[in-house]
Amino acid sequence: MAEISDVYGQSYQSDANQARLDHLINIMANNIAHRQLSFKLSDTFSLWGGSQDLSPVTLETLINKIQAMNSKLKIFHLKKGSSQINMLPELIVDTPVEYFMIIDAEMNRAYFIYITPMEVNAY
C-alpha cells in the first residue's frame, strides 16, 4: 500500500496544515473587514499553537488582510504588557486572547475587539 507522501508529495501534511491556518485567518479578516465584529469561531486552537498569544507572523497577516480588504479600517494590535491595554473596560483571563483597536475612517468610529480561539467580539 502506498503512503500519503508517495501519493501527495513530501510536504502534503505541512501544506494542508498551512492551508487550514490561512483559511481561518481569511474567515476572521473577511468578517472584520466587513465590520462584523462579533462572531463565533470553531476549532481555531491550531492558530494559537498552544500558547497564550498569536504569533507575530499571524498577527501581521491578519492585519494586512483586513486593511487590504477595507482600506478605510486601520487596525492596531494592543500588546498585553503595554499601557495601551488600560483603555479596555475589562480583560479576559485564563484564555488565549489578543486585543485590537480599529479606527473606521468611513464611519468615524473606533472599536475595540478581542480575539480568542472561540470567538471574536467587540467591547
Residue 72 domain-assigned?
yes
Domain that holds residue 44: 10-122
Residue 2 domain-assigned?
no
Instruction: Measure the CA–CA gap between 92 and 99, rounded to whole angstroms.
Output: 10
User: What pLDDT, on the 0 to 100 scale, is given for residue 45?
Assistant: 92
User: What pLDDT, on the 0 to 100 scale, is given for residue 51?
Assistant: 93
Q: How many alpha carbons fall within 13 Å on the CB side of residue 31? A: 17
Residue 23 domain-assigned?
yes
CA distances from 52 to 4, 10, 17 (A): 33, 31, 20
User: What pLDDT, on the 0 to 100 scale, is given for residue 18?
Assistant: 93
E-state strands within 20-118: 39-40, 73-78, 98-104, 109-115
Residue 92 near residue 120, CB atoms below 8 Å: no
Residue 58 domain-assigned?
yes
Which portions of the chain are predicted below pLDDT 50?
none
Residue 47 domain-assigned?
yes
Residue 5 domain-assigned?
no
User: What pLDDT, on the 0 to 100 scale, is given for residue 7?
Assistant: 81
User: What pLDDT, on the 0 to 100 scale, is given for residue 8?
Assistant: 81
Residue 55 domain-assigned?
yes
The total number of structural domains in the chain stands at 1
Please give the backbone phi and psi of residue 37, each rounded to the nearest 5 degrees, phi first: -100, 5
